[in-house]
Structures are given as C-alpha cells and as structure tokens.
Amino acid sequence: MPIPSVLVIIADGFEEAETVTPVDLLRRAGAKVTVAGLAEGIHVTGRSGITLHADAPLSSVEAVDFDCVLLPGGPGVRHLRGDPRVAAIIARQHQSNRWIAAICAAPTILKDAGVLGKSRYTAHFSVAAELPEAQLDERIVVDGRIITSRGAGTSVDFGLAIVGQLFSAEKAEEVSKSISA
C-alpha cells in the first residue's frame, strides 16, 4: 500500500490543537504530511500565539496531488476563505474523489468550494447560521470522501478518523493505543 500523502493548509489565526493533533497522529501512522502556509513565509502564528514552522508555502505545493487535504479551523479560516487557491484545491480534490478533512469553521470553505452538496457534515456551533445542515451534535461525520469535526475538543477523534480512512481501522486503533486515547 502506498504511503498516504496529506496537505494541511494553515493561515495566521489557525487553531493550534486542530492542526498539530491530526498532523501528529497522521505522522505516527506513517502518512507523509506537508504543512503549507497560506502566505509566502513558512512561519505561521495560531490563534493562541503559537508559531509553527510550515514545511512549505502553499505556492510551492498547490499543484501537487495529495490523498487528503486537511483544513483546520480557528480565526484563520477567514484567510483561507479569502484565497481562491484554497477553494480551487478543495474543488480539485473533490472532483478527483480524494479525501477532504475539515474541522471547526473550516467546513465553510467546503461550502464555498461547492463540494458539500447533500453530504452529511458537522462543524463548530459558531458557523451554524452559515451551515444550517450541519449535524452539530456529532463529533465526527464521515460521508463519502469528506471528514468533518466540530472543533478543538474533537481533534484527537478527528485525527484518528482520518488515519482510519487513509490507512485502516486497525492502524487508527494502534495509534489510539499508543497515545492512550
């Protein structure tokens, strides 16, 4: 089985737990994860003031195909929504029937890209007015090739759900046990 590749796109104001937790779990599982900063620099500061060193600026990887594209939430979502490259990447991912993962407010980006359709999904309560079909009572929703989650408190579940889809339920259980989840 080829090693799954994952692109994580972050912008200033990203939610740290929703980014670092899934990246950590995916890397523990053996995925090739590329964290890309939206701007040209590689240092991106999250909502709580933690600065991450991204692997690359988005401009250097936006044309690359990944098995999964992961979008964390937080106030940085407004920057992701404001950059047409992000919606284009999500639309291409959807058209190619590859995985898309979004947590917290990031499902709004999926709406912008026109990929939600009749899919079941969840999101953070703060975007409920914009996403009235969101299943806010569910921690994780997997529908087709779209994985959504509610927010920072569901970051471990979200990361393990992505591992389960990209690898296997057994791999997700193995990673879960390794961190005593």
Active site residues: 104
How many of the other CB atoms lie within 10 Å of CB of 48? 12
Q: What is the amino acid identity at position 175?
A: V
Q: What is the CA radius of gyration of the chain?
A: 15
Largest CA distance in the chain: 41
| Residues sharing a CB contact under 8 Å with residue 14, sequence separation 6 or more, in sequence order | 44, 46, 47, 52, 72, 73, 74, 76
Which residue's entry shows tokens 């972050």?
10
